[in-house]
Amino acid sequence: MTSLALQTQDQMGGRLSVLTRQKKDHVRLDRLLNDLAVAPSGPAEDRVLREIARLVFPHAFAEESVLWPVMRRVLPDGEELTLQVEQEHQEVNELWTSLEELDADDPRREPLLDRLTRVLQEDVRDEEDELFPRLQERISERQLQALGLAWEIVRRISPTRPHPVVARRPPGNALAALPLTLTDRARDNLDRVAQRSERLRDPAERASAALARIAGRIEDLPIMRIGERASTSRAPGATAMAATNGGRA
Ligand SMILES: [Fe+2]
Ligand SMILES: [Fe+2]
């Protein structure tokens, strides 16, 4: 079993394989985390964080809905392995939500950013060193390519923001995908408008905040939590900071 970090594109099943696509995103994330480490707090740091969110949340959401169910089917210990990475994803969602509640000069930001970086790095290592090499032993190159296509399609239509209350597993996460993708991506567009136009900043920010409230109500629907495991669940309305303080060590 060889870590993806040490495999060539051919060994991973070629350009279309899910392994190649995953590693490409992980390399990009690594670069963005290096940028985050040196970015001064304020607009520069916010810009890097936005890029990380748009990479990480759809990436992880599509893993949870397309890849981990396959892992659970083909690996005898798939349940344990996928629960561990789901817990990492859950912690990223909770840390991010906490971060959004803090002002730019809040001293609690720094430790949150450090922890966020560490959990993201651990998630990549668990996937590249353990989960994906184990999957590779069980399924063919053609199947890796088919999974690559399925993951890519879902990734492109997945939410781009943290949603710690929805299930990390189907069917809850699948039900949440469409409405939350619409609200998240509409908010991404409004944020771009707010950044580019002084005149439209106010109405765009108000519309984005209204959509955030709608997304919050969608998240709180009990149906979005079906399939959730206890260790990755977070009660609606629980404060993000409280969830973080009790987060996985
Ligand atoms: Fe990944
Ligand atoms: Fe992941």
Phi, psi (rounded to 5 degrees) for 48: -65, -40
Domain count, the chain: 1
Report CA(205)–ligand 1 centroid distance (Å): 31
239 lies in some domain: no
* Ligand closest in space to the Cα of 91: 2
% of the chain at pLDDT higher than 90 = 84
Per-residue pLDDT tens for 169-200?
999 988 888 999 999 999 999 999 998 999 99
Q: For 23-27, 79-83, 226-230, which range has the lowest pLDDT when averaged over its residues?
A: 226-230
Give distance in angstroms: CA of 68 to centre of ligand 1.
11
Q: What does the pLDDT read at residue 234? A: 81
Let me know: does 151 contact 68? Beta carbons within 8 Å.
no
Locate 150 and state its tokens. Answer: 């399925």
Q: How many CB atoms lie within 10 A of CB 243?
A: 20
Query: Does a structural domain hold residue 3?
Result: no
Give the domain extent around 173: 12-234
Would 126 be classed as within a structural domain?
Answer: yes
Is 240 a domain residue?
A: no
Does residue 209 surpass a pLDDT of 90? Answer: yes
Give the model's pLDDT for residue 244. 41
Q: Which ligand is nearest to the CA of 120?
A: 2
Within 10 A of 55 (CB to CB), how many other CB atoms are there? 17
Residues less than 5 Å from ion ligand 1, measured at CB: 22, 127
Please give the span between the terminal C-alpha atoms of the chain, in angstroms, as a whole number. 28
Can you give the pLDDT at residue 238? 56
CB-CB contact of 208 with 100 (8 Å): no
Q: For residue 57, give the ligand nearest its CA.
A: 2
Look up residue 38 and give its amino acid: V
Lowest mean pLDDT across 69-73, 74-78, 223-227: 223-227
Q: Compute the distance from residue 119 Cα to the ligand 2 centre, in Å.
A: 10
pLDDT, residue 237, reads: 62
Q: Is residue 4 part of a domain?
A: no
Task: Kindly give the residue spans of alpha helices, DSSP state H, lying in the chain.
Answer: 18-38, 43-62, 68-74, 78-100, 109-126, 132-138, 141-156, 172-196, 201-219, 240-245
pLDDT at 243: 39
How far, in Å, is the centroid of ligand 1 from the Cα of 109? 25
**Does residue 242 register a pLDDT over 80?**
no
Crossing angle of the two packed helices 43-62 and 78-100, in degrees rounded to 10: 150
Instruction: Give the model confidence (pLDDT) of 90-149 as tens digits.
Output: 999 999 999 999 988 899 999 999 999 999 999 999 999 999 999 999 999 999 999 999
- Does pLDDT of 247 surpass 60? no
pLDDT at 231: 86
Tokens 């790095």 -> residue: 121
Cα–ligand 1 centroid distance for 66 (angstroms): 12
